[in-house]
Amino acid sequence: MTRRRKVLLVAGGAVVLAVLVGVNLRSRGSAVEVQVTEVGRRDISRVITASGEIHPRRRVNVSANAIGKVTRLAVKEGDRVRKGDFLLEIDAEPYESAVDQLTAAVRGARAALDMEKASLTKAQDDYERAQQLHEKGFMSDGEFKTATSTLEVAQARQRNATETLAQAEANLRKATHELRNVHITAEMSGVITALNVEEGESAIMGTLNNPGTVLLTIADLSEIEAEVRVDETEVVLVRTGQAAEVRLDAHPDTTYHGVVTEVGNSAIRAQVGMGQESVDFKVVVAIRDSIPDVRPGLSASVDITVAHVDDALAIPIQCLTVRDQERLDRERRRGRGGNGAPAADSSVTGAEEARRDIEGVFVVENGIATFREVRVGIAGQSHFEVQGGLQEGATVVSGPFKTISDLVDRSRVKVQKDRTRR
């Protein structure tokens, strides 16, 4: 929640209460009872809260690269495996048959190539003899042309036989690879966090447009991260490297420490009501602490510290209120018996000055509450950082809410007994 929203919500609620009660502090003619606090110093952090789930940083979905029934299953969900361990096997019989057939085809193609090589050798010898006879005039042009054609045919047949063998060998390599795919082993060490198949069930191989059957998931549970959604109004404040605290619904009494490692750039849109849409962005927080009995998908709430000031001059959030210049001028004229208000800044026109909203507090001195403009910095859970307008030790009005909202500049006040806040 932004600082302005916090101030307006507090001030708005107080105005409603004041109207309902019908309070007019000025008309009482007596001191207004207030609660006060002293301006002091404290550490202030601005925190953004978001929710999501935890996931392993490294996980692998094992999909089927072969089609068939699962004939052997060596693991169950929760088992710990090492890289290379056997996981499951898909029916190998059709793939073994294909390998046998293609092995025979390769043998036949090699035999055919050997025959074509022999034929080419004979055709080459015949051509060389014919060439010699033709040069000496002992062979006609027609007979020499026939010998040349025979050689060319033999060369073409050998090329075809060579290509046939190469294709047969490629088919055999492919079938052998597919046969190896029925024997599935672990691609990484970790824990089986999801098992989506049983013995006897069919596995479907993925295609370009179909990812196929995800048989199981292996995850490294030694590195866990929280993936949360942060509202578009706050994600601009989030940076990698910022500290975060993570709480899990499964361990409500434990806070885990983490750091932001990723801030998404793509909006996540969702319908939240009639014609309303939320826009969030993914933020990933790496959890540095060990989580007992960790399970992927556990619900998480994350507090990200986006700003921090040590030993800041601070006031409670409820002390800060908003006044417009017109109201202040009116109150000050009444307080001075009709005399004019202080001159406005010459750089601001009268209309602009009247419309200007001023953030400030009521400072109590000698029983008089005077509105004083302040400049605030970051907003923590309960306090604002004060960057200007107040000194340490000053006494400011801190309540009640409706009293602050309706309080008039330079009002007489008295402190409620035992209600001085620190």
How much is the pLDDT for 298? 95
How much is the pLDDT for 337? 44
pLDDT by residue, tens only, the chain of 422 residues: 555 555 545 445 544 444 433 444 444 458 999 999 999 999 999 999 999 999 999 999 999 888 999 999 999 999 999 999 999 999 999 999 999 999 999 999 999 999 999 999 999 999 999 999 998 888 899 998 999 999 999 999 999 999 999 999 999 999 999 999 999 999 999 999 999 999 999 888 766 566 677 899 999 999 999 999 999 999 999 999 999 999 999 999 999 999 999 999 999 998 777 778 889 999 999 999 999 989 999 999 999 999 999 999 999 999 999 998 887 877 777 765 433 334 444 444 555 555 678 999 999 999 999 999 999 999 999 999 999 999 999 999 998 999 999 999 999 999 987 655 55
How much is the pLDDT for 353? 53
Burial string for 278-304 (b: 16+ CB within 10 Å, else e) reads eebbbbbbbbeeebeebebebebbbbb
How much is the pLDDT for 350? 53
Query: With a threshold of 0.75, does the pTM exceed it?
Result: no
For the domain covering 49-55+223-308, report its CATH number.
Answer: 2.40.30.170
How much is the pLDDT for 5? 54
Q: Please give the CATH topology (third level) of the domain spanning 3-44+312-421.
A: 2.40.420
How much is the pLDDT for 120? 93
